[in-house]
Structure formats: C-alpha cells, structure tokens
Structure 1
C-alpha cells in the first residue's frame, strides 16, 4: 500500500479496519493506518494539511489516500501510533484524583483551542477517542476521521452512530430537528460544539455515567438533550468538588453563549477552581474501590461508581419535529432515510453511490 507496510491488524468493525504499519523509508517508526470499508467514503485535498499540523495533545496525521486505485479505491489515513490506554481503560486501572482529571481536561481544552484557532473542529470528542499516553500521562485526541472545517468538510463521510447523540450540542440537535428533509442545508460547527462534547466527557469522567440515559428512545433523548438540565455531578457523586461540578454544568449549558468562550478560558477557570479549593478534596480519588463484606478492597481492583442519575424514569419532553418535504420531482432522490421515530409518508430511494445518513449530509 504505497510506502506503508502492514505489520499487525489492531481491530476492525462495520466502518473499517485498523492496522499497525511502518513507512518502508523509516521502518522503525510504527504508525496506525485506518482503511474504510465503504468505497464512497473519504475526501482529501490541499485543505487537509490543516489537520496535519497537530498540537502535542492531538494525534499527528501523516497521510491519507486511496488503495488500491488512487481515484476509486478505499479511503485510508495514517496517524501516529500512541502507546497508552484509552481513557475508559485508564480510569478503570488508575482511578485518578480530581486533580488528575482536571489536568486531563485542561490539556484537552488547550488542544481543542489550538485546533479552533486554525479553523479546524474535531467533531468526535468522547472518552473512546482519548488516549492517555504512557510515560508522561498526557491525553491525546485520536480519530480525526470526522474532523475538518468549512472547506475540508470531513476527512471521512459516514453515518454517525446513534450513541454519538450524547455528545452533540443542543443547538446541533435543534438544527437537525428543525431542518429534517431539507436539501442543501448544513450545520456549521463552532468551538462551542467541541466544548459541549468535552463537557459531556467530563461529566462521564467524574460520575461514571452520561448526563442522560443512552437507552432512551431517540425522540426522548433529543428532548432531554435540548431541554433538560442534567443532574449536577456533585449530586450524583458527592466526592466531586462543587466548583468542578459547576464548571462541568456550564459546559453543558443549552445556549452556547453560556459556555466558556474558548479552551483557553476553560483552562483558566479550571486553574482558578483548583487554586481556590482545598487540596485534600482535589487530591482525593474520583471513585472508591469495590470492597468485600469485611471491608477489604477486592482483587483485581474495581471502581465503585454511584447510581446513574437517570434511574427511575426519564420525564423527557417530546419535541415537535419539523419535516421539510421536497418538491415532487425530488421525492425519489432523497439521499437518506428518516430516523425510526420520524414518520415518513414520502417514498424514498437510496442513492447507491452516496450511502450516508442525515448526520453526514447535514453535519
């Protein structure tokens, strides 16, 4: 595959496969190659260079292309191989302190800010896309396949899984709900979208749960994300410093202007919160370890997480859906089908050359 020699398969799924590779010109440097299983997926041009200028806490993108044919082959991209654990695995094995958790968020906030200053959005910030690097313990943002800007569009184009709704900002979901079926419209990402996703990640970090139940039906989940205020993290987990809890809730505000203006502003607020708090509170671990009946810590160690904040009912509103129907001559050309919770009396024909869902088209 060009200059890339495949060494090991790291994993595969419905969207693509991931391999550990090396550049034949520099055989000792191991990298990661992801290749799509969708022939129509992926685009790259001169604007993609903006994604290669990585911050130290953003994985470095080395190359992208198509294989085996340069024009019609399967899309792939090559990034750094980051030695370390995913954020969920790191949480399970380390059970960090609140100070360590705040430092992780601080580093990520500054990395996101660096991307935003170059007019690049990540658009897929979540715990599974964050790796804690061995050696220095620095967090690294992975998976730029949804990253881009207004010129680049996205590095890869694909239907986004339903679980990613949990990390979409209320304004993004509102746009989708109010523009369903409208051709040619597209949501314009802003820094506030990435900061909201970082807030959802922070909520999970200190409580062990998402702000709202991922088991909710999509329309109820839309309503909760757009309208409901999540339970405060310090109510779910009494260990959480109140100042930390308040800052996470600010990141999850429904209106983007109510969130911190930038990653730098978020970093400054984190530093101020830690400096003003009692060191003993910030130095305590986020969770306790599970113990046996005698009070001894179980081996292997397991985290004792609090109960989910959404257990015992949802109470989520059902918001009205606005569906825009196309003119009669366009009815058979809709590029995507409606979600399962949206009744669609219009006959729809999928476009075989563009097998994408509405999130790919509009967001």
Structure 2
C-alpha cells in the first residue's frame, strides 16, 4: 500500500529511472485503477545543487503534467503526486486499451488509411505539447495506446518526469528515449520538437512494414532511411510525409507538428513536402566528450552487429563528426509599454517584466504571448525578482515602495516601508529573504514572511547592484566607483564584510552569485568579468578578451553558466567550469537599443533573454 491509499496490483515496468505499477485507489468509491510511476533519484551520481532541489523540480514537472492532462484528453490525467522517503510518485489515469505494438502483433501490418488516421489524430496532441515548450522524447509504438472507449490514440510516458533525475546535465538534457526511435540530436542530449516527429515517423514505418528501426536499411550515399520497398501498400503521398519526418537533420524535417498534419494526404490547403530550413535555427558543434561518448555507446550497443553504414548507426556518426546542435531563437516578446526590468523563471518557460506604468506582466516564452497582468504600484517599476519555485515576486517602484506578490494569484502579500533612493534589490531563491540597497549607503535584509527588517549593513558608497544566495549566507553588492562588497554569515555569527576595490573607479559594477553561494562574479563596462570562489574568495578573470566590456551579468542557479551583455550589445554565455565561451550573439544590423539595457538567464542556464528595439528576444542555445 502506497501513501496509505494505493493498493498495488502488478508491476508494469522497471527501468533506470524507477518503476511503474498498476494500482487501485482505495479512497475512491469506484476503486478506480491508476498508474503509479516511482522516481528514484540516483544518489550515486546526483547531488542536489541546493536543499529541496529534487522536491521543487518534481513539483514543477508534476504541475506541467497536470496542466497537459487537464487540457487534452489524449494525455493521461494526473490524479495525485506524493513522496515517501527518498522516492517520488506520480499517480496518473489508467488508459484502457492496447498499444500500437499490441495492435500490430494482433493484426499485422496496418493499412495506409489506418496509419494516416493515427497520425491525423496524434499530431494535434504533439502540436499542443510543443506549443507549451514540452518535448515528449520517447514516442514509439509502446507509448501510444488506442483507447478502448473511442479508439483515439493516447500519448503516455512523457520523458519530462524522467528528467527530474538529471541534475548534472547543466545546460543540456540527458538522452532520454529509446535507441532506434531516437533522433541523433536527441541521442546527443539536444532534443528539439522535430525529434518527436522523427520518432513518430519511425513509428508509422513500423506499423506499415513491421520493421523496427534496427531492421531498416539506408541509402549508402545519403544515409537516409530506405523503407518504401518494405511497405506492402506502397503509399506514395503518405510516404512523402513520412520521408520528410524521418530526415536525419532537423532542418530537413517538418518545422512543426501542424505542418506535418497539413502535409497528410487530403488535408485542405496542405503544403508541399519540400525542404524548409527554419529561419531561427543555427548550428553549433557538439563537445568532444559527447562525440566520443556516443561513439563508444554505438560500438557497444550495435556498431559491430549492424555495421557502421546501418541507417541507425551511420547518421549518428555523421551527426557526431561533426554535428551542429541547434540554437533556438524563440518568438519575440513585444510589450505594449517600456519594460524597465525582467527575469526568467527557473526553467525558462515564463518571462516576468515590470513597466514604466507600474504594471507587471507574465509572458509565455514558447509563444511570446502575454498570459497574465498584475496591476502594480502606480509608479514605474525599477526592479523585479522572483523566487525559484515561482511563488514569490518582489518589485520596487520609483516612489520608493517595495511590494511582495503571490505570483500565482497576482495578489499583494506585503508592502515594505518606503525607501527613498532605492536602486537595487535581490531575492533569495527560496523566497524568504529580500535584500535592498541604494543611495542611503546601506544594505537592508527583510524577512518576507513578516515584512520585518532583519538587519542593516553599512557601506561606504551607494549601492548600484545586489545578489544573494539561497539561504542569505552570502550577499554581494556593487557600488558606485566600482567597489565590490562581500558579506558572509556563518551560523549565528554576524555578517563579515570583505571589500574588493575597483580597478577602474569610473565604473558601476553588475554582480551575481550562485544559489549555493560557492561562485560569485562581477563585471563592468571597462573590465574583464571577475570570478570569485568560496574556497578563498580570491578573484580571477573569466577569460581575457571575450569577457571584457561586459556591462551586465547573471549566473545560473547551479553556478555552471554565466551570461553577459557587452557595451557593443553582444550577448555571451560562458561555462564557468572551463571558463570558455559557449554562445555568442551579435546584432547583424544596427538597432535602436533600449534603456535600460537588460539580460536574464533562467535558473537552469538553458534560456537567455535580452531587450532590443523595444522588444525582448529569447534564445535557447544547446551546448
């Protein structure tokens, strides 16, 4: 019995991420059946970067699954989630029916009309999840159930839940999925929406031919999969759609599930299936580690068995030597008024901004569309910050007020005492502590549960920037004249300050600190980025040359990625472990640059945003 409620009937599956069970909900009058998925964090390789990391990540992924299931009947509903000890559990709807694998086993190869019907009913589901920034990552015949009640295909076993177990991936995902049905970019840890279309295309080929991906042959010159000769129905129009879906390179596939749906035979106004290169996709090489890891993986799992010219093996080798992972340029966010401050949430799904009229807006990053407005403070918003769990929002206004909001409901929680001359604020990622500073040459700490002032730290110069770690044991402040102050607190002892003089007294530094407090950074428009480590708090330059003239910086929650915006408006990202630049964007044409200039980085380091031409551009680089 799990959670004193769920009676286990049988084990449905077991893997490296946990186990899946069929159970009965004993608290429901109907004693309905349900599916319980258990996640076991891998303690041997994963150490949470901050306390409660697994719990917060699990809750966030559960919330996503809840939303998906509530709004689409071809995705199982989420009934419940809970934890017991070190394990986490999802309780989902049990779908009565048979998988596509079982249907093929019972009936043999399906007809063109049957496969087309499945695609036509499943592609809108993919269009729905992709529009919300979700990639399934494990589409295959076993993960599509034909519901007994209406025959509709239901998509199960989202890879999103499995990724909770990945905390060491940093700016890339673990290669979740099934070998063979996995596109090469997904196998290298860089899934894109068309990776799902690739898997769906191979699923269609299996239904038509009975051939698994490993049993297919390929063109020796192009490496493209040759499957039509194995299809007894020889479906010409449908084949053209499937051919494009399973192209090796993402740029040669359909750009969206909707485009693939339009391309199906008989679709009104369907487009030709010619190659379209998305305008927002750039190509970068994979890391050397990734290349050789996957060469070893391929050799062990089938390189010698299938041969290196095999349609599954050859494209992977072509992809890895060399490949070019994508840099996704997401839809522009176009505010209706001037935005003075914005931040990205932990996983880069939502951008929150405050404007010159005192209002706060929330935009969906995947679509660029506004999804919520909070009527704010009357006067222009100066700074905003959000907690890591996306529950708390703090905002400051030019009239000196600071308000704390419930980000989910949009309701005001507390208003802090008026602070004239306020310039900077920062919020601990757990949402408990707010730190403020400005022209009064003090740094103030506030308890956001009570609204009370915790402590006032005196400084010699006005505060122009602030950063705070998760438990408020480290505070970093930048001052007019370029000095940097570190405030460190151990246990019940008072904060101990350390002052680092500026190299150039005419600068206004930007500062940042990781959630765990082990890494801090500062920058100005006339110096290299300076990095501090908590082992000795001695600073060192990030990288000579490319980190010079960086005016604004921000660090990912785990301290692995730092993003900066330079005086020439170039956006750069660095890996702090290697101190090497991993992403760069420079405007290709003159732009009307906004004031204030801003940059934001999601907590997981995968999404970066900046403002140009009164618009906000968002990127998702893959490294």
TM-score by length of 1: 0.61
1:336-351 equivalences under 5 Å are none
2:99 corresponds, among 71, 86, 89, to 86
Q: Is the 8 A contact 1:6 1:19 kept in 2?
A: no
Deviations 1:177-214 (A, max 9, x none): xxxxxxxxxx4432111111111111111111134449
* Residue equivalent to 1:136: 150
* Residue equivalent to 1:60: 77
1:1-363 equivalences under 5 Å are 1-2=2-3, 4-15=5-16, 16-28=18-30, 29-36=32-39, 40=43, 43-46=57-60, 48-53=62-67, 54=69, 55-67=72-84, 69=85, 73-95=86-108, 96-144=110-158, 146-147=159-160, 154-157=163-166, 164-173=178-187, 176=188, 187-213=189-215, 228-231=223-226, 233-272=227-266, 315-316=309-310, 317=314
- Please give the root-mean-square deviation of Cα atoms over the aligned residues, in Å: 3.8
Q: Is the 8 A contact 1:102 1:270 kept in 2?
A: yes
Q: Is the 8 A contact 1:212 1:225 kept in 2?
A: no
Q: Distance in 2 between matches of 1:234 and 1:133?
A: 29
Q: Distance in 2 between matches of 1:115 and 1:14?
A: 25
* Residue equivalent to 2:334: none
Instruction: Using CA pairs under 8 Å that are at least 6 residues apart, name the structure with larger relative contact order, 1 or 2.
Output: 1
Change (3 A) 1:256 1:160: closer
- Per-residue deviation at 1:77? 1.4
* Residue equivalent to 2:481: none
Q: Distance in 2 between matches of 1:85 and 1:125?
A: 15
Q: Is the 8 A contact 2:13 2:20 kept in 1?
A: yes
- Per-residue deviation at 1:225? 12
Q: Say which structure is richer in helix.
A: 1
Change (3 A) 1:252 1:235: same
Change (3 A) 1:14 1:118: closer
Q: Which has the larger radius of gyration?
A: 2
Change (3 A) 1:161 1:24: same
Q: Say which structure is richer in strand.
A: 2
Q: Tell me which moved more, 84-93 or 266-275.
A: 266-275
3-state SS of paired residue (2:179):
helix
Q: Is the 8 A contact 1:99 1:274 kept in 2?
A: no
Change (3 A) 1:271 1:57: farther
Report the count of equivalent residues: 261
